Amino acid sequence: MASNKEFEGPASSEEYVEDYNELIHVRREKLDELRNSGVEPFGRKFNAANYSEQIVNNFEEYEGKYVSVAGRIMAKRGHGKASFANLQDAEGYIQIYARLNDMGEENYEIFKSLDMGDIVGVEGTVFKTKKGEVTVAIEKLTILAKSLRPLPEKWHGLKDVDLRYRQRYMDLVVNPEVRQTFILRSKVIQFIRNFLVEKDFLEVETPMMHPIPGGAAARPFITYHNTLDMDLYLRIAPELYLKRLIVGGFEKVFEINRNFRNEGISTKHNPEFTMLELYQAYADYDDMMKLTEELVTLAAEQVLGEAQLCFQGTEISFNTPWEKIPMLEAVKRFSGLDFNILKSDNEVRNAAKELGLEVDDNDTWGMVLDKVFEEKVEPNLIQPTFIVDYPIEISPLAKKKEEEPGLTYRFELFINGWEMANAFSELNDPIDQKERFLSQLKKRDAGDDEAHMMDEDYINALEYGMPPAGGLGIGIDRLIMLFTNSASIRDVILFPLMRPKD
RNA sequence: GAGCCAUUAGCUCAGUUGGCAGAGCACCUGACUUUUAAUCAGGGUGUCCCAGGUUCGAGCCCUGGAUGGCUCACCA
């Protein structure tokens, strides 16, 4: 297997060429001038006692008070012997005012030399200008970091999507809505943590590097450990490790972390993405449905203020209870095909072909059902909808239904036509599980490199006895996309994967 | 992986029929002591993504390539 044993790093020192234009040149000169006049342009520390918005929103309280703020110069308006600038900090921005008479010539010259993007600390008193803007009159100015590159344009911001993703730091500086997206993302994840911890779930961390990748049908990334001289796989799902913990006696566990899948990139797929997975002993998939409903609805209420939102023009309501449709019924409703009547592999293959779908001659009843579902049903599931009872062939880790052994106690949640969650009553019969793995291996032998591998140790764990359990996975990035009205998954991932520019 | 589109100054963008490379912001010089997309006067700072080709002449046309976006494929 191909491993990255031959690591080629970035350019060597000889190959490195500095990019250097007029604007950078000017700032480097200003840097030198500051140093020559005894001012250190890169500070060590500054005790900012106040935040911009706190002062702006509580002017009466702060008027005439001495405050200290720190941040980035985002706009400058010089007037000869007096100047204004906007200082942007973590909360917003506040105007600062420099006056020759108050600061003295030397300090005023330093203020005048400031560039957009410079990071400064300001101490002074709060007042309101004639035009009514809350402002800090500078008494002391400290340069904390000289900015050596020009900022993107103040009015249009940074629009080039390529640059925004590659240089997210600049995107965050100049596009305030981007900052809001990631603050909201953090709030949602924080909410989920609190929600689960309050329900006595234990947050755990399981391996990212797996000797055998499992828990999902996906192609893994391969990496290599030098000392052990072995290939390892970046995990495609934490599932099998989390269930080992249920075997071990933890009754409620969850993990919020990255999965890695070596597959196509799209507006809904990033090679690394964040999943919530949780497992609850002695529960089943009905409990998982209730939990999912509660978690998503409360997250929306808590973070958005209401249990509904508008995504790219589509109104979505989280009002419970959400619709619950058996997969067979959903397929019948949207495609007209009744898989209760069409029983043989051959019958369903022909029926699917008549609908214009591409089916493989090896596709079984359940696989065809899944294909028809994806094609004909998924795009219609706009409001939160649970699709329940998936076929066994595509659910190798789910418990089979007692009365319908071709189906499993599994559901997926769809919102806006996207798969948002996947859950089931976990298969805890080790003999059945081993057979499922064996049939997955047959698929691998037939060329399906996304089929599960045999995980002997996982079977071993089940053989000691795993309590019946409900398991749930929620795609966090897609949830955040909905909550932040982001059309692309890259807009909710701080540093999405990009090809190197050269 | 395929199709379509994009790539021009630090940023946002124009660029006509193939005929001297443009604007706004930013930047530089000067004026201005409550401005706020500050204003006023002056200054264009460029590997037109890269490499070839056609042409008297290419930002523009052709071929190949790079990166990105969208759609499709892939991806439960």
B19 C1' – A348 CA distance, angstroms? 67
Beta strands at A252-260 and A202-203: parallel, antiparallel or unpaired = parallel
* CA A334 remoteness from chain centre: 32
How far does CA A269 lie from the centroid of its chain? 11
Give pLDDT tens digits for A107-125. Answer: 999 999 999 999 999 999 9
Q: If you average pLDDT over every residue of chain A, what do you get?
A: 93
- Is the per-residue pLDDT at A4 higher than 50? no
Q: Which residue is nearest to nucleotide B13 (CA to C1')?
A: A156
**CA–C1' gap, A150 and B20, in angstroms:** 30
- Cβ-based neighbour number of residue A135 at 10 Å: 23
Does ipTM come in above 0.90? yes
Q: A351 pLDDT exceeds 70?
A: yes
Q: What is the pLDDT of residue A349?
A: 92
Q: Which range has the worst mean pLDDT, A9-23, A227-241, A261-275, A336-350?
A: A9-23
- Quick: pLDDT tens for A160-219: 999 999 999 999 999 999 999 999 999 999 999 999 999 999 999 999 999 999 999 999
Q: What angle do CA A451, A273, A487 make, to 5 degrees?
A: 115
Measured CA to C1', the nucleotide nearest A97 is: B34
Whether residue A83 has pLDDT greater than 80: yes
pLDDT for A17 equals 53
What does the pLDDT look like over A280-289, one tens digit per residue?
999 999 999 9
How far apart CA A466 and CA A245 sit, in angstroms, is: 9
Structure letter (DSSP) for residue A220 = P
Using CB atoms within 10 Å of the CB of residue A232, give its burial: 0 to 12 exposed, 13 to 18 middle, 19+ buried: buried
Residue A339's pLDDT is 93
Task: Give the pair of three-digit tokens for residue A126.
Answer: 């709060």
Q: Report residue A1's pLDDT band, with 50, 70 and 90 as the boundaries.
A: very low
- Does position A334 have pLDDT exceeding 90, yes or no? yes
Distance A65 CA to B39 C1' (A): 31
Estimate in Å the CA A465 to C1' B35 gap, whole number. Answer: 74
Nearest nucleotide, CA A501 to C1': B67
pLDDT at A3 over 60: no
A33-72 tens-digit pLDDT: 999 999 999 999 999 999 999 999 999 999 999 999 999 9
Per-residue pLDDT at A361: 86
pTM for the structure as a whole: 0.93
| pLDDT score, position A12 | 53
- The sign one gets for the Cα dihedral A109, A146, A38, A69 is positive
| Strand B bases, protein C-beta under 7 A | 1, 9-13, 24-28, 31-39, 45-46, 66-76
Interatomic distance A153 CA / B9 C1' (Å): 13
Q: Positive or negative CA dihedral for A328, A364, A414, A320?
A: positive
Q: Name the closest nucleotide to A216, judged by C1' and CA.
A: B76
Pair A413, A285: CB distance under 8 Å: no
